[in-house]
Chain A
Amino acid sequence: MLSYALRRLIIGVLVMFVVSGITFTLTNAAIDPARAIAGEGATSDDVEAIRKSYGFDRPLAARYVAWLGQALQGDLGSSYRQRRPVVDVIMERLPVTLKLGGLALAFALVLSIPLAIAAALRPNSWIDRIALLFALFGQAMPTFWFALLGIVVFSVNLRWLPASGSGTTAHFILPAIALGYYAAPTLMRLMRAGMIDVLASDYIRTARAKGLSEARVVLKHALRNAVLPVVSVAAVQFGFMLGGSVVIETIFAMQGVGYLAWESISLSDLPVTQAIVLMISLIYIVLTLSADLLNAWLDPRIRIG
């Protein structure tokens, strides 16, 4: 187990290095930091002067090493626009995004797990068909369109929910549903397939033969085993949601990291853009790593094979 964990950890760290290198190269190729600092009306002489004084004329590799050295010490530079440390800027916005992601994941699980269990208990019944329709629609619905329709119905027509901002919990309902519905079909398919497999297994037959009630068989014996792969995929989905929150936060003008990312990209705020990409990658890597380790701990076949 220890050697497996160590191997996965080393791969995770390596991936992080490669991702940081690619991110640094891509963002530097896409955004000219000197021009971004100089602002709109600057002459080309000004831009050159800034390029020299900030050291942007040095080779990319040298700048990467310097940036990486600082990043490893927790210093991700300063925002060009806000003139504050990037870490502060992001930390201020992170709670909104985490709350949005958490609520979205909760909605996805609450929608998909009961539906998937009901569907798995009676494959090809009407409830199974409804679940399938839910999944088909969720996959085909563009998140941002679903969000806009939500605004039309619940904010414009019914006036139940606010259309923009992130001040109160009510502000999170529409965005969380839009983001969560996108993740639900994957979880639903996985849960349904796992549940059908488990229900056909010998130990469920034994549990039934012992005369346990159907509710007890399903909820206590079957669910426990079928839900494991769903948990690890849900962790990965949470990572994807942080990326997907860019679109949703922009639509609802929520003061989260996703909106910050969009702002920093359109304002050429290089350090903030880099830091957000890195942070989302790091969260994804940590989540997948924990999910893999959890699975390996629960299922010895993985760590040996």
Chain B
Amino acid sequence: MTATITGPTDAVAARRWRLPAALRHGSLVIGGTILLLIVAAALFAPLITWHDPYAQNIVARRVPPIWYGWFWDHPKATWTHPLGTDKLGRDYWTRLVYGARISLLIGTATTIMSGLIGTTLGMAAGYFGRKVDLVVSFLVTTRLAMPVVLVALAVVAKQGSSLVVVILVLGSLLWDRFAVVMRSVTQQARSRDYVTAAQALGCSTPRILIGEILPNVANPLIVIATVEMANAILFEAALSFLGLGVQPPLPSWGLMLAEAKEDIFFSPWMITIPGLGLFALILAINLVGDGLRDASVSRGRA
């Protein structure tokens, strides 16, 4: 077993769990392609669907997807509704595509909000240290001690649970990872020469933080943003699934899953399709995040 006796430098290289060499840039490519497809579908939703996402059709309820026609000769499964219809006769493909808009909107808006809060706190803690650091650490510990799902549920329950409320609630809860990571990278950047130089030149503190440090810690910031975006999308889906997130008739994927739950026995495809949408979106975002991290790590070492 001499092959497993590796030197410390090999250990550093092997420590990061990287995709196989051929797939390493592939992770970015695959993730990026799926993500772009979903974003494009969401943006051009009216062009690639031929129904109204809210239009109900009593005579075409619970129509199965097209492959039921291919494999089991189901007479109702036609290209009119390629992914079938839900219990109210709404076209599933159309709702799936419009649902991507909601997930992406919530993911982006929440990440921007939590990113602003977390980055501000983290950079302040990392740059000023001492008491500021203590206060921020305390805030992060407090935030981590609060169960996100429960607090979000309790707040959303009576606030009329609109899209905006869900974004505000998740945005004000999911900043902890931003703060932790930005604190540590700012601490490292603070003692670098370029910061000392800027201080010697008499630059103002905001200018040093925003003009000098922020561009140099942008890489980890973007990686965390992908993680938190995926997180926010999952939380929205979970809240909507529990009936306390985005409200009907909006086509949120979590809500579609909740509505399909009662049809689980006879129409299992109804829960499979929106779940696949969520799975593909989260996987794509994670792959992009992993790819970006690998890219920044190898560049940092070169």
A219 CB → nearest B CB, Å: 14
A242–B230 Cα distance when bound, in Å, is 21
Does A261 reach chain B (CB closer than 8 Å)?
Answer: yes
Of B138-146, B196-204, B215-223, the stretch lying at the interface with chain A is B138-146
Contact among B16, B145, B159 for A284, CB-based, below 8 A: B145
A255 at the interface (CB under 8 A from B): no
By beta carbon, the residue of chain B nearest A279 is B147
Q: In this assembly, does A225 line the interface, its C-beta being within 8 Å of a C-beta of chain B?
A: no
CB-contacts of B246-266 with A (<8 A) = 257, 261, 264-265
Q: Which residues of A103-157 are within 8 A (CB) of B? A: 121-124, 129, 132, 135-137, 139-145, 148-149, 151-152, 156
Residues of B167-181 contacting chain A, CB below 8 A: none
**Residues in B neighbouring A189, C-beta threshold 8 A:** 17
From residue 144 to 174 of chain B, which have CB atoms closer than 8 A to chain A? 144-151, 153-159
Residues of B near A30 (CB, < 8 A) are 154-159
Proximity string of chain A (179-198) to chain B, C-beta cutoff 8 Å, 1 when within and 0 when not:
00000000001001100110
Contact indicator B147/A281 (Cβ below 8 Å)? yes
Q: Give the size of the chain A interface in residues (CB under 8 angstroms).
A: 65
Asked whether A136 and B238 contact (CB < 8 A) given A26-B154, A124-B14, A246-B150, the answer is no
With A26-B154, A26-B155, A156-B264 known to touch, is A140 a contact of B149 (CB < 8 Å)?
A: no
Majority SS of interface residues in chain B?
Answer: helix
What count of chain B residues pass the 8 Å CB interface test? 55
With A148-B271, A152-B271, A277-B146 as contacts: A196 and B153 at CB distance below 8 Å = no
Tell me the residues in window 230-253 of chain B with beta carbons closer than 8 Å to chain A beta carbons. Answer: 230, 234, 237-238, 241-244
Interface presence of A285 (CB below 8 A) = yes
Q: Is the CB of A11 within 8 A of B238?
A: no
Residues of B within 8 A of A (CB): 1, 4-8, 10-11, 14-20, 138, 141-142, 144-151, 153-159, 230, 234, 237-238, 241-244, 257, 261, 264-265, 268, 271-272, 275, 278-279, 282-283, 286-287
